[in-house]
Structure 1
Amino acid sequence: MKIIDFEKKHVESAKLIAAANYYEEREYVPILPSIDSLPDLDYFANNGLGVAAFDEDRLIGYLCCYEPWDNAFNSTAKGTFSPIHAHGSIKENRRLIYQRMYQAAAEKWVKSKITYHAIGHYAHDAESLNAFFTYGFGLRCMDAIRSMEEIECQPYDGIYFEELAKSDVIRVGEMRRLESEHMGNSPCFMYSSLEDFKSWLARAEERNSRVFVAKDCEKLIAFVEVKSSAAENFVTEVNNICNICGAFCLPEYRGKNIYQNLLNFAIRKLKGEGYKLLGVDFESFNPIAYSFWLKYFTAYTNSVVRRIDECALHN
């Protein structure tokens, strides 16, 4: 096996591997949509950060990433992300192929002072996940999906549901603040400043999203926010999928099937508009989200993250 720079001449062979890997995952999650073509890989061939693995003259794997950005995950580190279509491997010796590719790619990334490495994987690809877990990565984010069919649950009398007008989405501001506060606590530690919250308030009406709420009399007690395009991965961009991009329920109203009924209200409306699939992404280290979403949705990606020690920058 030899590892070389990923170049434009490798793109077409890499697309075949990417498609094969996607359809492998689709065997485990058949609800995933059929995809005619995956996103183009030319961007990754041009940024100089990718690598390709060869067995003689045959491409057997590739690993690329986006251009880095500062303050990854609100840290002081520079980070990058390799989405599910930006890497792939044949089945045979997959774990070893990924380990060899990451060793070469990570050398490039750290030389470019990129110390936060995030990589999206298919949830049922144990070989690639184990390769990266062995190399110091941990699970952080997950994408999950379900058909646009109602959840089986008991109705809850006295609770009302509606979709907010754009001019009214600011009404979920307090729940947004509580959601942000929850994400800042252990074990999530995803702290948001007061300035971040004020920024969300200022942009609330401009977000290209829709908000459905549950009400106890006139009190808003839960919300779910959805978008037709989430840009988390190429699956979230298909025409008939809607993606959850915000969710919260007041603690005193949890465990009563209220949130399930809120989702059903949104599902009925979205299904009537022609949507067939509902997606959601969440942090694996958020115990409430992890336990709730995986009851009703099937995971199809696991994104793993590694933070390289700063001492590596002085090597």
Structure 2
Amino acid sequence: MISTDFTHKHLEQAQSLIKQNYDEEKQSVSNLPEDTSIPDLTPFADNKLGVAVMEGERLLGFLCCYEPWDNAFGTNAKGTFSPLHAHGAISENRELIYRELYQKAAQKWVEQDITYHSVALFAHDEQAKKALFTYGFGLRCVDAVKSMDKLKVKQKANLQIRRLEQAEIPLIRPLREQLSAHLSESPCFMYSTEQGYQSWLSRAEQRNSKIYAAFEGEKAIAFIEAIHGGENFVTELHDMMSICGAFCLPKNRGEEIVQNLLNVMIDELKAEGYQWLGVDFESFNPTAYGFWNKYFEPYTNSVTRRIDEGILNRK
């Protein structure tokens, strides 16, 4: 087993490994789509931040990442992300392979002052997860999926639900504000400054999304927002939509309002030709974790590690 830089000569075998790993995850997640397209891996060979493990001419595994960025996850650290299509390994000795891959890749990344590392793993790849958990990573995000089948809940007769027109989107601003406040609390601690919140709100209200809201009289009490595309290549399918925001007033939780919202959304999206609905959420958000895991099948676990920046002072 020999470690080396990830280069263009590894691209074909790397694509094959990703497909094998995806098919393996499909055995555990019945709702994952069959027809997916693996993105071009050339940028990962170009940026020279990736590593490969070889046995002769055979690629046993590889680990690459995007170009780094500053202030990762709102910190002062430079970070990088290895998406679902930027790594893979054969099934035999996979834990050992991932240990070797991360040790070599992390050395490269820290040499570039990258101290916040994040990797999206398949949720049922226990070997890869064990390798990275052992090396200091913790779970942060989850992607989950379901088919366009309605939830088995009672329809609330007096609940007003409708898809918002563009001019109506400001009606859910109070809910977005409460969602932001909720994410800043324990155990999430995802704090946003007022300037950061307003910037996010402006982007959110301008994006081409589908928003469904539930009302008591003229007041919105819950919403769900969906958009095409998400955090991994699976979400890029033309007949898949991804939930990118949801919130229900605390006083109305337990009344199956969000479930009714989901059913209205599913009915309309299915009629428009969509076959799958995805969602991503933080694992440390107890409200989201409890709700989405109840109705969707997780297929990714994104893990993170922040290295002590003191290592950058080493000469």
Instruction: Please report the TM-score for the alignment, with normalisation by the length of structure 2.
Output: 0.98
User: Residue 201 of structure 1: CA displacement?
Assistant: 3.6
Preserved CA contact (<8 Å) 1:229 1:237: yes
> Matches of 2:71 and 2:36 in 1, distance apart?
35
Runs of 4+ aligned residues of structure 1 deviating over 6 Å after TM superposition are: none
2:173 partner letter: G
> Matches of 2:272 and 2:58 in 1, distance apart?
46
Preserved CA contact (<8 Å) 1:169 1:204: no
Which residue pairs with 2:170 in the alignment? 170
1:134 partner letter: T
Q: Does 1:257 align with 2:253?
A: no
Which residue pairs with 1:296 in the alignment? 295
User: Residue 200 of structure 1: CA displacement?
Assistant: 3.2
1:268 partner letter: D
Partner secondary structure for residue 12 of structure 2: helix
Preserved CA contact (<8 Å) 1:77 1:115: yes
Superposition pairs of residues 224-263 of structure 1, within 5 angstroms: 224-230=224-230, 232-263=231-262
2:267 partner letter: R
User: Residue 219 of structure 1: CA displacement?
Assistant: 1.3
User: Residue 293 of structure 1: CA displacement?
Assistant: 0.2
The two structures, once aligned, show a CA RMSD in angstroms of: 1.0
> Matches of 1:62 and 1:199 in 2, distance apart?
37
Preserved CA contact (<8 Å) 2:36 2:237: no
> Matches of 1:123 and 1:255 in 2, distance apart?
28
Range that drifts further, 153-162 or 194-203: 194-203
Q: Does 1:307 align with 2:306?
A: yes
> Matches of 1:267 and 1:192 in 2, distance apart?
31
Preserved CA contact (<8 Å) 1:49 1:109: yes
Which residue pairs with 1:68 in the alignment? 68
> Matches of 1:144 and 1:204 in 2, distance apart?
22
Range that drifts further, 257-266 or 199-208: 199-208
User: Residue 204 of structure 1: CA displacement?
Assistant: 4.2
Q: Does 1:118 align with 2:118?
A: yes
Preserved CA contact (<8 Å) 1:145 1:277: yes
> Matches of 1:105 and 1:76 in 2, distance apart?
21
Partner secondary structure for residue 179 of structure 1: helix
Range that drifts further, 295-304 or 211-220: 211-220
Range that drifts further, 202-211 or 283-292: 202-211
Q: Tell me the alpha carbon deviations over residues 246-298 of structure 1, each in whole angstroms, 9 at most, x when there is no partner.
A: 00000000001111001101111111101110000000000000000000000
Which residue pairs with 2:90 in the alignment? 90
Which residue pairs with 2:59 in the alignment? 59
Q: Tell me the alpha carbon deviations over residues 26-61 of structure 1, each in whole angstroms, 9 at most, x when there is no partner.
A: 111122112353101100000010000011221100
User: Residue 239 of structure 1: CA displacement?
Assistant: 0.9
Partner secondary structure for residue 28 of structure 1: coil
Which residue pairs with 1:188 in the alignment? 188
Preserved CA contact (<8 Å) 1:208 1:227: yes
> Matches of 1:87 and 1:18 in 2, distance apart?
7
User: Residue 126 of structure 1: CA displacement?
Assistant: 0.3
User: Residue 67 of structure 1: CA displacement?
Assistant: 0.3
User: Residue 157 of structure 1: CA displacement?
Assistant: 2.9
2:283 partner letter: S
Q: Tell me the alpha carbon deviations over residues 132-163 of structure 1, each in whole angstroms, 9 at most, x when there is no partner.
A: 00000000000000011110012223211001
Which residue pairs with 1:213 in the alignment? 213
Partner secondary structure for residue 9 of structure 1: helix
Preserved CA contact (<8 Å) 1:77 1:116: yes
Which residue pairs with 1:282 in the alignment? 281
Preserved CA contact (<8 Å) 1:222 1:248: yes
Gaps spanning 5+ residues in structure 1: where?
A: none
Q: Does 1:142 align with 2:142?
A: yes
Gaps spanning 5+ residues in structure 2: where?
A: none
Preserved CA contact (<8 Å) 1:94 1:128: yes
Which residue pairs with 1:31 in the alignment? 31
